[in-house]
Amino acid sequence: MKFFVDTADINDIRDLASTGLLDGVTTNPSLIAKSGKQFLPLIEEICGVVDGPVSAEVASTDYETMLKEGKKLAAIADNVAVKVPLTPAGLKVCKELSDAGTMVNVTLCFSALQAVLAAKAGATFISPFVGRLDDLSQDGMQLIADIVQIYGNYPEWYTEVLVASVRHPVHILESAKLGADVVTCPPAVIKGLYNHPLTDKGLATFVDDWKKTGQSIL
């Protein structure tokens, strides 16, 4: 399973990229606004830090403008994945960009049937939002299970399941168990995967015992 970080904070991206754990980046208009930076130069900077896909979202909702925006975003770098909404116009743009060899991330997916449409339109990634479904007392992870099962029935579809709106490590664990291709998470959620009280306790014991030996490796 691939790890993408869901942020536009270039410092967090550099930090995670240095660990070797990072396979890509997803951004959205809200994250860009939070960064306080200019959109296009920021995407170019991120693409220079990360070798994997960097999702950059169109800002319009009509077909003609979305297509123009998508082509402009795709021209920034070879690893840009143009992000489009799961709407009739968005899927039309997805089809055209995908046919031209551009990676496309179809976002705001909330049903398995929407995911079927995205795959048929040639999406590189489909982004089901599990956390937002959980917020409505629906089962976000069941949506992932349904999409993974359906996609598995049709090997000619190459769309990867990119689990989005991840809120906590359990979402990541369940995604891995279900066979999702990618999870995209806020930096804090990825960094939280390191943590376990028994790791901390064991390390503290080892450090204390080493000090008692009076030795030094260096």
Q: Tell me the per-residue pLDDT of 176-186, one tens digit each, with 9 for 90 and over.
A: 999 999 999 99
Domain that holds residue 190: 2-213
Closest C-alpha to 79, from 52, 100, 58? 52
Q: Is residue 218 part of a domain?
A: no
- Which segments in the chain show pLDDT lower than 50? none
Asked, for residue 66, whether it belongs to a domain, the answer is yes
- Is 95 tagged catalytic? no
Q: Which of 34, 83, 95, 201 is catalytic?
A: 83
Q: What was the pLDDT predicted at 83?
A: 98
Residue 19 belongs to a domain with what CATH number?
A: 3.20.20.70
Q: Is residue 133, in this structure, part of any structural domain at all?
A: yes
What pLDDT was estimated at residue 196?
Answer: 94
What are the distances in angstroms from CA 203 to CA 133, 168, 190, 208, 218? 38, 25, 21, 9, 19
Provide the domain count of the chain: 1
Distant-in-sequence, close-in-space partners of 99: CB < 8 Å, separation ≥ 6: 122
Q: Identify whether the C-beta of residue 161 lies closer than 8 Å to the C-beta of residue 147.
A: yes
Average model confidence (pLDDT) for the chain? 97
pTM of the model: 0.94
SS3 107: strand
52 lies in a domain?
yes
Name which of 132, 124, 142, 136 is nearest 108 in CA terms. 132
pLDDT at 49: 96
Contact status, residue 72 vs residue 98, Cβ threshold 8 Å: no
pLDDT of residue 181: 98
In a domain, 186, yes or no: yes
Q: Is residue 138 part of a domain?
A: yes
